[in-house]
Amino acid sequence: MRPPPLGLLLLCCLGAAAPPADSVSQLAAPQHPKIHLFNAKQVLTWESPSPSAGRRAEVYRVQYKYTHGHWHDVTVKSIGVNCTRITATECDFTADLSKGFPLHFNVSLRVRAELGELTSAWATVPWFQHCHNVTIGPPQDIWVTPGEGTLILRLSSPFKLNSSEATLQYYVHYWEKPGIQQVKGPFKSSPILLDGLKPFQEYCLQVKAELVCKTHKILRPGHLSNTSCYETTADASTNLQQVILIAVGTFSLLSVLAGACFFLVLRYRGLVKYWFHTPPSIPSQIEEYLKDPEQPILEALDKDISPKDEAWDSLSIISFPDKEREDVL
């Protein structure tokens, strides 16, 4: 059998001695990259693989691209923040007053680890669009003022939106307690008036914001706020009715009480007369005598009698003639 050529043996030996593709010179790629979109925030996070013993800390580089563009480093010049050679395992694209990526752009992201001249493979995040994928939180600081059959709502937006390509609008979910839920909206701004409500009735409500992206006519509804309940007040007509009812009720009550008192007086007239009759009193002279029996009270009483009381005021003498006297006899 003819031996193989010497060159072929050398190639086989060299091939056997060649290092594998996944040698120690290749770093492990970042794990589980995710994009978090909440209100106006845009944050990329990932997990770091276990560092090898004896190595210094790895750094990370983040890149982005639009639909038909090329990959670019995330720098202050391009996006407004620096995410090249960072030690943190996140990149906040909206930090430091940066607006981040446009709301209606399709954005792709990737991140890799670096250690000196060594680099890892890229860990790519599926493309996203802020208007399509963002989570909208509930409105903040909701104040409710009850009125005459109304509720007036004042609120602040869940986040500041400095873009002419998108706006926020609001919906109010409210219901009479208990009752069927109703929805009013959209409202473009605050304050919000809920009218046509029943007076002196408790209503519960929730408010949510909705992101409107004008470019692609995308509506992204948000989360509802916590439930809060309020009682409405009376309107002018209700107040007048209450005044009339109170007056009529008061007059009727007084009439009933007066009739009852009159009936009781007639029925128990003797008892009432006895209750309200002034009890007899002892003359002051007798009362003094009873206090001091030795006092000559009788002589004092005799002295108090005036002789004029016993005198006649006038004396009349009646005489009859003889003939008239005989007729009388």
Query: pTM for the full model?
Result: 0.65
SS3 196: coil
Supply 25's token pair. Answer: 């010179």
Give the pLDDT band (50/70/90) at residue 55: low
AA letter at 289: Y
Q: How far apart are CA 25 and CA 9, in angstroms?
A: 28
- Selection from 112, 55, 56, 54 nearest residue 83 by Cα: 112
CA end-to-end span of the chain, whole Å? Answer: 209
Domain 140-231: CATH class, spelled out:
mainly beta
DSSP 8-state code for residue 27: B
Q: 44 or 292, which is more confident?
A: 44
Contact between 200 and 175 (Cβ < 8 Å): no
- Which residue ranges make up each domain of the chain? 27-48+57-133, 140-231, 236-267, 268-304
pLDDT in tens, 27-43: 899 999 999 999 999 99
Q: How far apart are CA 243 and CA 224, in angstroms?
A: 41
Q: 307 or 26, which is more confident?
A: 26
Supply 35's token pair. Answer: 């994009």
Burial code (b: 16+ CB inside 10 Å, e: under 16) for 47-69 equals eeeeeeeeeeebebbbbbeeeee
Q: How far apart are CA 169 and CA 174, in angstroms?
A: 17
What was the pLDDT predicted at 321? 59
Q: Evaluate if residue 93 carries a pLDDT over 60.
A: yes
What was the pLDDT predicted at 2? 41
pLDDT in tens, 243-289: 676 777 787 888 888 888 877 777 777 776 777 666 666 666 666 66
Parallel/antiparallel/unpaired status of strands 192-194 and 202-213: unpaired
Mean pLDDT of the chain: 80
- Selection from 18, 110, 2, 6 nearest residue 60 by Cα: 110
Contact between 244 and 210 (Cβ < 8 Å): no
Average of pLDDT values for 300-314?
53
Q: 131 or 291, which is more confident?
A: 131
> Would 27-48+57-133 and 140-231 be classified into the same CATH topology?
yes
Q: Evaluate if residue 199 carries a pLDDT over 50.
A: yes
Q: How far apart are CA 207 and CA 153, in angstroms?
A: 10
Answer whether CATH 3.60.20.10 is correct for domain 27-48+57-133. Answer: no
What was the pLDDT predicted at 278? 64
pLDDT in tens, 188-197: 999 999 999 9
Q: Evaluate if residue 16 carries a pLDDT over 80.
A: no
DSSP characters over 158-179: SS----TTEEEEEEEEEEESSS
What was the pLDDT predicted at 17? 37
Contact between 182 and 105 (Cβ < 8 Å): no
What was the pLDDT predicted at 265? 76
pLDDT in tens, 201-259: 999 999 999 999 988 889 999 999 999 999 999 865 555 556 676 777 787 888 888 88
Place of tokens 């010049």: 77
Supply 57's token pair. Answer: 């800390």
Supply 239's token pair. Answer: 């107040």
What was the pLDDT predicted at 14? 34
Q: How far apart are CA 23 and CA 141, in angstroms?
A: 57
Q: Which ranges of the chain would DSSP assign to H, the alpha helix?
A: 6-17, 130-133, 236-267, 269-276, 284-291, 297-304, 322-328
Burial code (b: 16+ CB inside 10 Å, e: under 16) for 116-143 equals eeebbebbebeebbbbeebebbbbeebe
